[in-house]
């Protein structure tokens, strides 16, 4: 027979779902007890030993620091949270939790307690019990101890709650958007910081509205933590749907999105710098070519043999002595040298048009007009 079949038979014999079994060992010396469910949300500190149904010890907190939690907000498994109610300081209690009330989310604090046991037995020792007050709740949220609640402080608090397995029941709720809305909800003077006076004033206002409404709505009680903002009509019951626009719409981008946008912006900026550099280099090269062309000497003649006129044949004066020979003799006798005659260029040769000068201004003007 499987464990599930055994649990089913026990529930049939019990006449309903199995519930916790509490055995009080001593009343303790303290007078502070867990208040009624109307107030609720005590802060407690305890030590415990955990045993399986067969009596094998699987975990204890005496070798570590005591566990400090707030009751009624999901920081412990349902059976343990229910069994701690009514305890006073220094009280010892034996608590048996059935399978259906020992289910819990993954967490760092409760990771040593198994989820598949038919019954779990807790030997509990209550160290301290503090009743709920708005001032005590503010100090609980202020994990930095600086007397103010900011978005960064509340994000740290949410991270700390995840160590106890506490998380949003609705996966669509984002931590960053939630704390942003929370600060706006409690920030009376609009400075982006919630101090203790502002916190107490808003909590008392909402509590008065809840007491006046006297709603009979059923559901999970309003959580005095960051989830306080999920009670949209102040009836004392948390509503996870529908969510307000401020929470569902991500007004604050995540670090990954911000980094991605920054990288894209940087890439566009680098491309623009490279284009400007390329244009500047091209313009400088054109100016250099123009300067070289202006200082160049004119070409001597036309080097194309097909277009140059052929020289006339030398003329002779009745003998073997030509006119050219006489002219060379005069030149050598006078010891003077005349500069060479520059042949004219071919007037029929086509002229090649020079391309227009490329400048940065012309490039961007063409680019802007083309885009527009």
Q: Is the pTM of this model over 0.75?
A: no
Of 295, 173, 163, the closest CA to residue 244 belongs to 173
Radius of gyration (C-alpha) of the chain in whole angstroms? 47
Please tell me the distance from the alpha carbon of residue 67 to that of residue 371, in angstroms, as a whole number: 66
Between the ranges 8-12, 251-255, 351-355, where is the mean pLDDT highest?
Answer: 8-12
pLDDT at 259 over 50: yes
Residue ranges per domain, the chain? 1-132, 133-250
Residues 225-234: what's their mean pLDDT? 89
Whether pLDDT at 243 is above 70: no
Phi, psi of 101 (to 5 degrees): -105, 5
| Domain with residues 133-250, CATH architecture | Orthogonal Bundle (1.10)
Kindly tell me the burial class for residue 42, based on how many C-beta atoms sit within 10 Å of its own C-beta (0-12, 13-18, 19 or more). buried
Check: CATH 3.10.50.40 for 1-132?
Answer: yes
Task: Report the relative pairing of strands 67-70 and 43-51 from DSSP bridges.
Answer: antiparallel
Contact 143, 160 (CB under 8 A): yes
Report pLDDT digits (tens) over 63-78.
899 999 999 999 999 9
Give tens-digit pLDDT for 146-156. Answer: 999 999 999 99
Question: What pLDDT score was predicted for residue 135?
Answer: 96
């Amino acid at each position: 027979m499987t464990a599930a079949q055994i649990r089913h038979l026990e529930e049939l014999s019990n006449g309903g779902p199995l519930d916790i079994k509490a055995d009080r060992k001593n009343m303790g010396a303290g007078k502070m007890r867990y208040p009624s469910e109307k107030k609720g949300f005590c802060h407690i500190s305890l030590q415990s030993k955990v045993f399986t149904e067969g009596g094998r010890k699987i975990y204890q907190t005496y070798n570590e620091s005591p566990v400090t939690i707030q009751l009624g907000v999901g920081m412990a498994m349902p059976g343990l949270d229910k069994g701690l109610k009514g305890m006073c300081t220094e009280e010892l209690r034996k608590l048996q939790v059935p399978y259906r009330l020992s289910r819990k989310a993954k967490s760092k604090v409760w990771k040593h307690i198994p989820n598949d046991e038919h019954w779990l037995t807790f030997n509990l020792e209550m160290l301290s019990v503090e009743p709920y007050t708005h001032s005590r709740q503010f100090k609980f949220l202020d994990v930095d101890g600086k007397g103010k609640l900011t978005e960064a402080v509340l994000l740290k608090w949410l991270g700390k709650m995840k160590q106890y397995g506490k998380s949003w029941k609705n996966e669509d709720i984002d931590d960053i958007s939630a704390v942003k809305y929370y600060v706006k909800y409690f920030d009376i003077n609009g400075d982006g910081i919630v101090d203790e006076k502002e916190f107490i004033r808003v909590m008392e206002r909402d509590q008065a509205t809840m007491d006046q409404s006297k709603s009979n709505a059923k559901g999970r009680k309003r959580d005095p933590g960051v989830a306080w903002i999920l009670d949209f009509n102040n009836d004392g019951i948390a509503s996870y749907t529908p969510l307000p626009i401020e929470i569902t719409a991500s007004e604050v981008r995540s670090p990954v999105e911000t980094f991605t946008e920054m990288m894209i912006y940087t890439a566009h900026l680098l491309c623009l710098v490279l284009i400007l550099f390329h244009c500047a280099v091209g313009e400088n090269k054109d100016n250099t070519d123009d300067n070289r062309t202006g200082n160049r000497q004119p070409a001597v003649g036309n080097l194309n043999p097909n277009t140059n006129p052929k020289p006339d044949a030398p003329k002779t004066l009745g003998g073997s002595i030509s006119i050219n020979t006489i002219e060379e003799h005069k030149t050598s006798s006078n010891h003077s040298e005349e500069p060479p005659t520059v042949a004219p260029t071919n007037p029929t040769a086509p002229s090649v048009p020079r391309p227009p000068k490329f400048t940065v201004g012309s490039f961007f003007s063409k680019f802007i007009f083309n885009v527009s």
